[in-house]
Amino acid sequence: MIGSENRLERGAEKGLRGVLPFVTTLGLVLLMQLQYRLSFLDDLFPFLSLVGVYYWSIFKPRLMPVSVVFLLGLLQDILSGGPIGMMALLFILVRLFVIRQGRRFLEREFLFNWLVFIMVSPVFGLATWAIASLYLKESQNIWNIFGQSILTIVIFPLVTSALGWVRYLLADENR
């Protein structure tokens, strides 16, 4: 009886831990929607949610399935007032890119992941620029995107160290 209760407790704990990647990335999506009252951040706010999707796709891909990535992207599109489907599509492509590399390839030390992200972030930014320009039928200012990508790269260590702390909670969770 006591054994089954323990199993139940462990199951519930495991379930709660299992949603942490989703919850943390959702938190990053919401953080991106807040008003920071700084004029320069208005155009150059870093892609925080991209860091979340990238990080969890490397370390806990099973807890960040494509359906969850799609939902998070869709939510970001809805809350930001952008074209519906843009972030959903780009997040899935980022996840696909990470999965294609193979877990052993990216699951190395932090510096290697950061170097790969330095390539991912501008490509992601360029893709948002291209989609937004097509959607608005007018070429948009490309320099803002570079600024956004650079800020995302700069903030990457900070966000991933916070996510790393969350991952520590998931340490005994099977992938």
Partner 1 sequence: MKELRHRFSSGFFIILALALLIFGSNNTPLLDRIRSGVVDIFVPVLDIASRPFEGVNDFIDWTRQVAIVFSENNRLRAENSQLQKAQIKASQLAIDNQRLKKLLNVGEGKVKIIAAARVVSDSDSPFFKSVLINRGTRDGVKKGQAVINEDGIVGRIISAGRSSARVLLATDINSRIPVKLASNGVNMILEGDNSLFPRLAFLPMGGKPVIGNLILTSGYGMVFPHDLLVGQVIKTDEEGIRVKLSAKLYNLNYVSVVEYDITRPLPPGGGGKSRRTEKK
Shortest Cβ 148–partner 1 spacing (Å)? 7
- According to the binding rule CB under 8 A, does residue 74 interact with partner 1? yes
Residues 100-139 touching partner 1, rule: CB under 8 A, are 128-129, 131-132, 135-136, 138
Per DSSP, 60 falls in state -
For partner 1, the binding residue among 1, 2, 39, 175 (CB under 8 A) is 39
Stretch that binds partner 1, among 5-13, 94-102, 149-157, 164-172 (CB under 8 A): 94-102
Shortest Cβ 89–partner 1 spacing (Å)? 4
94 — phi, psi (to 5°)? -65, -45
For partner 1, the binding residue among 93, 118, 126, 155 (CB under 8 A) is 93
Cα separation, 130 vs 149, in Å, equals 14
For partner 1, the binding residue among 8, 84, 115, 169 (CB under 8 A) is 84
Contacts of 6 (CB under 8 A, 6+ apart): none
Nearer to partner 1 (CB atom), residue 13 or residue 42:
42
Contacts 24+ apart (CB under 8 A), 140-146: 144/43, 144/44, 146/122
For partner 1, the binding residue among 1, 3, 5, 34 (CB under 8 A) is 34
Is the sign of the CA dihedral 25, 29, 31, 36 positive or negative?
A: positive
Helices (H), the chain: 2-18, 20-33, 39-44, 48-59, 66-80, 86-101, 103-106, 110-136, 143-169
Contact residues: partner 1, CB under 8 A: 30-39, 41-45, 65-67, 69-70, 73-75, 78-86, 88-89, 92-93, 95-96, 99, 128-129, 131-132, 135-136, 138, 140-141, 144-145, 148
